[in-house]
Structure 1
Amino acid sequence: MNFLTRVVRLIDSLNEWVGRSVAWLTTLLVLVVCFDVVTRYLLNESMVAVQELEWHIFAVIFLIGAAYTLKEDGHVRVDVFYGHMSPKKKALIDFVGCVLFLIPFSLLVVWTSKNFVQMSWMVHEGSPNPGGLPARYLLKLMIPIGLGLVFLQGISMALRSFMTLIGRPLDAEDSGKDAGEVSHA
């Protein structure tokens, strides 16, 4: 196994673990939403903290789970042309897309969110709403962490595509699918 294969496997396994761990938050989100609905409509009681908790959990799922979704090829894609291309053409499109768009964008978000997150931590930002949740700075930290994971997955995708382009596609067991095959999860 060469160095590039090890890097791809390491990044993929990291995002696999993170994604599967964060997926459990969807169960928590369902329970919180059910609690909110019951208290709001049956007990005629509304709690700001519960409503904020809903979007905090959703934000963590979205931000931290984005890299796993990218790894599993679950993001929206226009497959009209891409779906009928050869594995090498798909690899070329994926490589160019990662190098020109995904990697620079994720780095830009990580870099520009630095001051935003730092300021939030310095003032221990919480909810501006009475009865809201404290520690909003923890939620804001998920922005650079999530996009950092997307950056890493972009590196993995670019390396995987590069290996396909040079005629050395990674084995099917590395990705769980045939080289160049698109999953439609």
Structure 2
Amino acid sequence: MKLIAKIMKIIDMFNEWFGNIVIWISTLMVLVVCYDVTTRYVFNKSSVAVQELEWHLFGFLFLLGAAYTLKHDRHVRVDVFYDKLTEKKKAVIDIIGTLLFLIPFSILVIYTSKNFVINSFLIKEGSPNPGGLPYRFILKSAIPVGFFLVLLQGISLLIRNFLILTGKKEYLEGSQK
């Protein structure tokens, strides 16, 4: 039990680290959007590169922040019945959902995005737009990375709920929800 609790804590620390990176990405995105709006509406100038940078940053924010959001249980959920359930019943639902949906979907996205990303790297894909950003392959590589982080967090979620279900909550001490 100690080993799987340690694995859970390592995964949680890893995704917490990525979550802190995402915080800085979101700050940068706000600054870029403010710059874009100011130059567009005050100075009547627009830049394709700045506009592409906005959606590149948003892509990184979404893909790299999904696991952090899952770790902190801040994802969208319809809690009509779930909130009223006991902790053990919630654990059963989370285990089933993780095994049936989260893990298989993450594996599917990682597997199917492999060639997409490899081809993008091989041709050193950039923006097709004049004045656009080069290195679009870096953004595309965030797809399997982001889903790998979600997959890891799904494993952590499984471990956490297994410990709850088996009454071994003492192994959750010091871990963040």
Where on the TM-score scale, by shorter chain, does this alignment land: which range? over 0.9
* 2:88 corresponds to 1:88: yes
Counterpart of 1:85, as a letter, is: L
Would the aligned equivalents of 2:5 and 2:172 in 1 still touch at CA under 8 Å? Answer: no
Mapped partners of 2:21, 2:131: distance in 1: 29
| 1:71 counterpart = 2:71 | yes
How far apart in 2 are the matches of 1:134 and 1:22? 22
CA RMSD of aligned residues (A): 1.0
- Summarize deviations over 1:162-182 as a string: whole Å, max 9, x none: 111112124343125xxxxxx
- The number of aligned residues is 176
Between 18-27 and 55-64, report the one with greater CA deviation: 18-27
Structure 1 residue identity aligned to 2:119 = M
What is the Cα deviation at residue 80 of structure 1?
1.1
Q: Which position in structure 1 is the counterpart of 2:172? A: 171
Residue 138 of structure 2 corresponds to 138
The answer to whether the Cα contact below 8 Å between 2:110 and 2:148 also exists between their aligned partners in 1 is yes
Identity fraction in percent: 57
CA separation in 2, counterparts of 1:56 and 1:175? 30
Which residue does 2:56 correspond to in 1? 56
For 1:141 and 1:26, the matched residues in 2 are separated by 19
SS at match of 1:164: helix
Q: Return the alpha-carbon distance in structure 2 between the equivalents of residues 174 and 38 of structure 1.
A: 43
What is residue 161 of structure 1 aligned with on the other side?
161
Q: Secondary structure at the match of 1:173?
A: coil
Q: TM-score scaled to structure 2, two decimals?
A: 0.97
CA distance in 2, matches of 1:68, 1:140: 19
Which secondary structure state, in structure 1, belongs to the residue aligned with residue 175 of structure 2? helix
**Bigger CA drift: 165-174 or 133-142?**
165-174
Matching residue of 2:114: 114
Moved more, 80-89 or 167-176: 167-176
The match for 2:98 is 98
Structure 1 gaps, min length 5: 177-185
Give the SS at the match of 2:46. Answer: coil
Task: Specify the alignment match of 1:183 in structure 2.
Answer: none
The Cα shift of 1:48 comes to: 0.3
TM value normalised by structure 1 = 0.92
